[in-house]
Amino acid sequence: MNQDNWMEQIAELCDEEESLAPSCLKSKLYSRLIETQQLEGPLMSLKETQANGRGLCVFEKLIEILPAEKNMQSFQYCQVCHARVAGERIENAPIYWSNCPYCEFQPR
């Protein structure tokens, strides 16, 4: 067997291991994705998001039931939430709100 074939066998034996992306990385990816989306237009309103069958966190629910203007509904409240700060900085952050992306990124 020549070395080319031998290396092909080696490559077959070894590929990426099962591993999860760090929760801090997921949190930063999400924050950056939303920031980029906001540069191109307003986010979908909380009412529409909920109508699409996706749950809101306790803070978003509060905004959603207020008689708020549409631009209030499109604001990304995570920007000012402690869950985002903790999620971006701490692996397995002690945050437990339901329907919060930063909590859902935690490995548990």
Partner 1 sequence: MDADLELAKAVLQRDRKASAEFVQLYSDPVYRYVRFRLQPRVEAVDDLVQEVFLTAWKSLGRYEGGAPLKQWILGIARHKVQDHYRQLLKSVPFPEDAEELADSSDGLEIQLGTAQAQARISAILAQLPENYRTVLLWRYWEKKSAEEIGAEIGRTPKAVERLLARARQQFKQAWQGKEEIK
User: Where on the chain is the footprint of partner 1 (CB under 8 A)?
Assistant: 1-11, 13-22, 25-26, 28-30, 32-34, 36-38, 40-44, 48-49, 52, 54-56, 76, 78, 99, 101, 104-105
Pick between residue 54 and residue 82 the one whose CB is nearest to partner 1: 54
- The residue assigned the tokens 């291991």 is 17
Q: Is 106:87 a contact under the CB 8 Å cutoff?
A: yes
Locate 65 and state its tokens: 């039931």
Q: Which of 51, 30, 41 is nearest to 74 (CA)?
A: 41
Q: Which of 66, 65, 63, 59 is nearest to 103 (CA)?
A: 59
- For residue 67, the minimal CB distance to partner 1 (Å) is 21
**Torsion angles phi and psi, residue 77, rounded to 5:** -70, -20
Pick between residue 6 and residue 96 the one whose CB is nearest to partner 1: 6
Pick between residue 41 and residue 67 the one whose CB is nearest to partner 1: 41
- For residue 99, the minimal CB distance to partner 1 (Å) is 8
